Amino acid sequence: MGSSPNGRPARSTSTSSTSSSSFTGIARIARRPCRELGPNSTRLIGHGLVAWTRHLKQDVRIRSARQEDREKVVPFCTGTFDWGDYIDEVFDLWVKDQEGSLLVADVDGQPAGILHVRLMKHGWAWLEGLRVDPRHRRAGLATALNLAALSFLKERGYRNVRLFIEANNLPSMQLAYKLGFTEAFRWKFYHGRRPVLAESRYSSVVGREKASETWDRLDGSDLFSRLGRCYEMSWAMHPLEREDFIELVDDGRVFRSGSGEDMALVISGPEEGHPRALRACFLMGSPKMVKDLASFVLRKALRQGFREVRAASPDQPEVVAGLRSARFRPGFSTTLVYTMDLRGLRP
Ligand SMILES: CC(C)(COP(=O)(O)OP(=O)(O)OC[C@H]1O[C@@H](n2cnc3c(N)ncnc32)[C@H](O)[C@@H]1OP(=O)(O)O)[C@@H](O)C(=O)NCCC(=O)NCCS
């Protein structure tokens, strides 16, 4: 769900056209009774796909998007954030998604909300781009879109789903809580433009010969496990297992500093939509090693013609301290990853 005026929005690498019949589950869900978890809070989905109590006052239908929806959807998204929105940049790509789906909520036959479901590896999925026309908010459309997305994923055997919410987006946090998502981890974003070290002493590109040893160190790290075994790239969290890591190494996208217990690690990649910026996701390291590595990645990026490195960091004091001492400046606001295990949900 995250997006940035300075960064690029999440984009799908793949694409679907799903018939609206895929979303018949929504009606069934919507009529189930509500589960109260406390005097002031209601979770719609708790231990199973439970309830959606609100009786929609309007005629709402969830379906997959069509190209011609663009002219209705983009205008109601334009003023979403104080800096605007990115939906106009990604709509054409998302509507062609052959694996996931761009869902549309129609009210009285007119598009009034969207949500993109992106399929990932290892049974994971990613939700992004949730938008409801301001004229139709608080009428249950976002709930309907999310429930349809969860049905879509459940029907296809997906096991887990994640999404981003900015830490200051209280309506979305409330919605996520209500749907049964739980907060998994906080991420911070920085950008670096001037390296502080003339030469990094401990950093290098990870090649095949060091791939296994480096993976084992990451795999055994407590932080990586708490992150949910994933990395951030261009506003989406990607699951990361050994085979993915080896592919990234083979693509020359993994760098590290130090070794053994004192190792910092970063995965880099193109910042979609911003060809002059390199994305770099720091996954672990002491302040000293992160500083060395951040300078290394930045110098390398500048040599390759990039103007800046946009760094994502888990909100973990050591990694953050390393980036700050490498004079990386805060970019986008803190963003929360929410997650849901779909296995216990009834379709
Ligand atoms: C967040 C957003 C998608 C919610 O859409 P919506 O259709 O109004 O949401 P729903 O009617 O389904 O609301 C479901 C629940 O979400 C929470 N919620 C929604 N809007 C809220 C608000 N303004 N304040 C507090 N809670 C809110 C409530 O718990 C609500 O249940 P309730 O109405 O019974 O109290 C919509 O406000 C929006 O498009 N915002 C701008 C874009 C955005 O922030 N997208 C998400 C990016 S992560």
Mean pLDDT, residues 37-59:
46
Mutation test of ligand 1: which of 40, 150, 175, 237 has the most ligand atoms closer than 8 Å to its C-beta? 175
The string of pLDDT tens digits covering residues 319-340 is: 999 999 999 999 888 999 999 9
- Count Cβ atoms below 10 Å from residue 247 Cβ, excluding itself: 11
> Of 96 and 58, which is predicted with more confidence?
96
Give the start-to-end residue ranges of the domains of the chain. 20-185+337-341, 195-326
Render pLDDT for 176-225 as a digit per residue (tens, 0 to 9).
998 889 999 999 999 999 989 788 999 999 999 999 999 999 999 999 99
20-185+337-341 and 195-326: same fold? yes
Confidence of residue 270 (pLDDT cuts 50, 70, 90): very high
Residues at CB less than 6 angstroms from ligand 1: 1, 80, 130-132, 137-143, 165, 169-172, 174-175, 178
State mean pLDDT over 40-67.
60
The DSSP call for residue 273 is T
What confidence score (pLDDT) does residue 130 get? 98
Class assignment of domain 20-185+337-341?
alpha beta
For the segment 247-261, the average pLDDT, to the nearest whole number, is: 96
User: Rounded to an integer, what distance in angstroms lies between the CA atom of residue 287 and that of residue 281?
Assistant: 15
Task: Tokens for 222, please give them.
Answer: 């407590």
Q: Specify whether domain 195-326 bears CATH 1.10.645.10.
A: no
> What distance in angstroms lies between residue 13's CA and the mean position of ligand 1's atoms?
27
For position 57, what pLDDT does the model report?
A: 67
Mean pLDDT of 68-82: 96
E-assigned strand segments in 271-321 = 277-284, 308-314
| pLDDT above 90 for 165 | yes
Distance, CA of 335 to CA of 128 (rounded, Å): 13
